[in-house]
């Protein structure tokens, strides 16, 4: 399994190098080589991930500049009983902190506030940075995208919640009774670290 994850990471790196080469190269021969390299990388990604090559071709290439990591923002919201807010994802019927990919034109705090309202119907004010995690260093399932995850403390304006279009349910949970988590989005370790922050055991942002 460890070797499989390493091969998937290497394939992502090859794809990124190919796209960067296509962006910066002007020589026709180099462009042709980088194009072939990109095709090889996408084939590798398809074989390693079990996702169809067509889906990989449609979902991963960017072709608009230097390839960088994607950024995911997660909202950390506690109620007065020190329970954490989680939403039940439609995609896998498991639970995660409200959040998602950063949208162009929105700051990380704006994304957090928007996602909290869209997914949990709650108005919040994003505040302190709790953590920036590199997804590959945590126990997430394999993914086609290389991503950083930003966790932001969000203070609720009220505790009225309701499920959104992308969620099946929403609720507050104590640390000892966490539901089955949507591990592509957050792991148990990460959620428990959010409780450590809330309990004052951590007072500085976590990295990597």
Q: What is the pTM of this model?
A: 0.78
Domains belonging to the chain, first-starting first, are: 2-59 (no CATH), 70-207 (3.90.79.10)
Q: What pLDDT sits at residue 64?
A: 67
Q: What pLDDT sits at residue 145?
A: 85
Helix (H) or strand (E) holding 84: strand 84-89
- Is the separation of the CB atoms in 112 and 187 below 8 Å? no
Three state DSSP letters for 112-166:
HHHHHHHHHCCCEEEEEEEEEEEHHHCCCCCCCCCEEEEEEEEEECCCCCCCCCC
Q: What pLDDT sits at residue 11?
A: 86
User: pLDDT tens digit string along 135-190?
Assistant: 999 999 988 889 999 999 999 999 999 999 889 999 999 999 999 999 999 999 99
Distance between CA atoms of 28 and 107, rounded to whole angstroms?
38
Torsion angles phi and psi, residue 77, rounded to 5: -125, 125
Classify residue 95 by burial, with Cβ atoms within 10 Å: 0-12, 13-18, 19+. Answer: buried
* pLDDT, one tens digit for every residue, the chain (208 residues): 678 888 888 888 888 888 888 878 888 888 889 889 888 988 888 888 888 888 887 777 776 677 788 999 999 999 999 999 999 999 999 999 999 999 888 999 999 999 999 999 999 999 999 999 999 999 999 888 899 999 999 999 999 999 998 899 999 999 999 999 999 999 999 999 999 999 999 989 999 9
Q: How many residues does the chain have?
A: 208
Please measure the distance between the N-terminal and C-terminal CA atoms of the chain and give it in whole angstroms.
21
List Cβ neighbours of 44 (8 Å cut-off, separation of 6 or more): 7, 11, 14
Distance between CA atoms of 46 and 67, rounded to whole angstroms?
19
């Amino acid at each position: 399994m460890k070797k499989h994850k390493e091969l998937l990471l290497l394939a992502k790196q090859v794809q990124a190098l190919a796209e960067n080469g296509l962006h910066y190269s002007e020589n026709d021969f180099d462009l042709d080589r980088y194009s072939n390299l990109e095709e090889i990388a996408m084939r590798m990604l398809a074989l390693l991930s079990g996702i169809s090559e067509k889906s990989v071709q449609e979902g991963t290439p960017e072709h608009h500049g230097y390839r960088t990591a994607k950024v995911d923002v997660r909202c950390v919201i506690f109620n007065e009983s020190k329970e954490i807010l989680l939403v039940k994802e439609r995609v896998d019927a498991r639970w995660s902190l409200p959040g998602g990919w950063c949208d162009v034109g929105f700051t990380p705090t704006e994304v957090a506030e928007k996602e909290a309202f869209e997914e949990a119907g709650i108005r919040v004010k994003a505040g302190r940075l709790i953590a920036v995690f590199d997804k590959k260093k945590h126990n997430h399932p394999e993914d086609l995208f290389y991503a950083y995850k930003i966790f932001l403390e969000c203070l609720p304006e009220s505790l009225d919640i309701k499920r959104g279009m992308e969620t099946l349910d929403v609720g507050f949970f104590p640390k000892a009774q966490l539901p089955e988590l949507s591990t592509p989005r957050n792991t148990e370790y990460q959620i428990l670290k959010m409780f450590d922050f809330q309990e004052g055991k951590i007072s500085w942002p976590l990295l990597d």
